[in-house]
């Protein structure tokens, strides 16, 4: 079966309770702390990966180390890359003051999409630790975001690490991965009604009610469009991040 077909079929995975019954994993150990060194403003490679699979850090133009900034961990879709992962928020980051971290998956997609948590979650942990050593990050304003397979992964990792990420943004997710739930992050989920890759009826229209049944706070947006992140949806997600921060 093709990657698209395999992921689309995975929309039939049961939900939060079914995910909880499967083998959990995906815990992250990195935590924000006072930086011990610094990095320049703008975009730079992490230089942590091998085989051309690394990641990108973007530090916004208004960042100052004395004012800890919000950080968004951005996860690409299947066969994607860090460069594409940045796209939804890259042009919004300076105005919103967002630090963006986009790692590459170790393979064509994220480990737990096809099996268990492993090399990808370990690389994300390394990347976060690397950033926390160099950038002052506000521990109350961390968000994990993803598109397509990255959205599926963001929900799983975000719910498993709700004590680290207060917000989860999932653009066109496919299903719910195994969850070892910690705390209760807020979620923003969007999906196109004409999505032919991950059809909305089999995916977000199942995922959102299941999450709400488990008493997660979900902001859900449907739009008339395909498998994509429209600019207005990206802007709404950034505005939502700020509103959740204000609510605490």
Listed by start position, the domains of the chain span 3-247
Percent of the chain with pLDDT over 90: 86
Q: What share of the chain is helix, strand, coil (3-state, %, to 5)?
A: 35, 20, 45
Residue-level pLDDT at 49: 80
Residue-level pLDDT at 156: 97
Residue-level pLDDT at 11: 57
Average pLDDT estimate for 186-200 = 98
Decide if pLDDT at 17 tops 80.
no
Q: What class, spelled out in words, does domain 3-247 have in CATH?
A: alpha beta
The number of C-alpha atoms within 13 Å of 216 and in the hemisphere containing its C-beta is: 29
Task: Read off the pLDDT band of 50 (50, 70, 90).
Answer: confident
Residue-level pLDDT at 14: 45
H-run or E-run covering 70: strand 69-75
Decide if pLDDT at 111 tops 70.
yes
Rounded Cα distance, 49 and 209, in Å: 38
Average pLDDT estimate for 53-63 = 97
Decide if pLDDT at 75 tops 80.
yes
Residue-level pLDDT at 7: 34
Residue-level pLDDT at 246: 54
Closest CA to 7 of 114, 99, 84, 139: 114
Average pLDDT estimate for 82-104 = 98
Decide if pLDDT at 126 tops 60.
yes
Residue-level pLDDT at 24: 62
Residue-level pLDDT at 4: 33
């Amino acid at each position: 079966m093709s990657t698209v077909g395999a992921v689309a079929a995975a929309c039939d995975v049961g939900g939060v309770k079914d995910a909880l019954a499967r083998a959990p994993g995906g815990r992250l150990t990195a935590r924000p702390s006072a930086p011990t060194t610094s990095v320049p403003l703008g975009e730079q490679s992490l230089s942590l990966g091998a085989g051309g699979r690394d990641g990108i850090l973007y530090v916004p133009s208004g960042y100052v180390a004395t004012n800890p900034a919000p950080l968004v961990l951005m996860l690409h879709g299947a066969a994607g890359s860090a460069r594409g992962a940045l796209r939804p928020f890259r042009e919004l980051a300076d105005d919103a003051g967002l630090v963006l971290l986009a790692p590459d998956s170790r393979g064509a997609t994220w480990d737990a999409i096809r099996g268990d948590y492993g090399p990808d979650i370990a690389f994300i942990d390394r990347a976060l630790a690397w950033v926390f050593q160099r950038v002052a990050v506000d521990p109350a304003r961390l968000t994990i975001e993803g598109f397509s397979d990255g959205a599926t992964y963001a929900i799983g990792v975000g719910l498993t690490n709700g004590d680290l990420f207060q917000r989860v943004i999932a653009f066109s997710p496919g299903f719910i991965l195994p969850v070892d739930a910690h705390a209760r992050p807020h979620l923003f989920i969007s999906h196109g009604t004409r999505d032919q890759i991950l059809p909305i009826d089999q995916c977000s229209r199942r995922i959102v009610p299941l999450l709400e049944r488990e008493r997660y706070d979900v902001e859900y947006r449907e739009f008339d469009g395909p498998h994509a992140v429209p600019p207005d949806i990206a802007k709404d997600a950034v505005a939502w991040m700020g509103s959740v921060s204000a609510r605490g």
